[in-house]
Amino acid sequence: MNPLNIPANRYPRHIAVIMDGNGRWAQRQGLPRIEGHRRGVSSVRRTVEECARLNIEQLTLYCLSSENWKRPQDEVDFLMHLLEQYMIEERSILMEQNIRVQIIGRRDGIPDQVQVEMNKTIELSANNTGTTLCLAINYGGRSEMVDAVQAISKKVKLGEFDYQSITEQTIADHLYTSGMPDPDLLIRTADEMRISNFLLWQISYAELWITKTCWPDFNESTLHEAIRDFASRERRFGGLNPSMDEEEV
């Protein structure tokens, strides 16, 4: 049964989400900011499970940016606790739903015990063939590009290839997301009109969808709304719709 009443070939292959508004949601409820993060985990669970049910190939969630370390230490510590808890408590569900987990971003600053649980989930789910859940943790798009340039420069220095042979594909192959499809749909919650250093290379042709809904209130219906809107758009990638003449453009 198709809950969206649109052809599956109109679904986005890869959905990326900037999960924003946890703190604002909590403040509006008269709660500490960390309660917004705790509630946000439920939204992650709902979104992951629904993407798996809809057979979305990949879902990438912006969990922790490289700039988030500037937040109060108790909030950062709580985010690390939630991440470790998620890796442990959701592991069996992820396996049941055939979801493969990948993580992008730098590992610097992430506590060792959290990394142990991250690695365990990645390894256990490596052979799953359903939706890929990619978590961007301690991630920054500019840092990713710096790391890619350094890796390519090292290979040029070692004579593995000539700098004149570097192409867009060369760069893509050295990003954290190497081998992953680029996002088709980028969702941002809490009505913010920013990219926030997220997948700067990869979202070049992504469709953007902004909602006023804060992340803790994001649910299956919100996801369906975003997918329906995506399906209604005509993606031309810089070209023209064959049905349009030049006077209409």
Q: At what angle do helices 33-53 and 73-89 cross, to 10 degrees?
A: 30
In Å, how far are 22, 48, 76, 81 from 27, measured between CA atoms?
9, 26, 18, 21
* Cβ-count burial 62-98 (b if 16+ within 10 Å, e if not): bbbbbebeeeeeeeeebbbebbbebbeebbeebeebe
Q: What SS3 string covers 35-96?
A: HHHHHHHHHHHHHHHHHHHCCCCEEEEEEEECCHHHCCHHHHHHHHHHHHHHHHHCHHHHHH
Burial (CB count within 10 angstroms: exposed 0-12, middle 13-18, buried 19+), residue 233: exposed
Type of residue at 139: Y
Helices (H), the chain: 22-28, 33-53, 73-89, 91-96, 112-125, 141-157, 168-173, 220-232
- Show which residues are catalytic: 20, 68
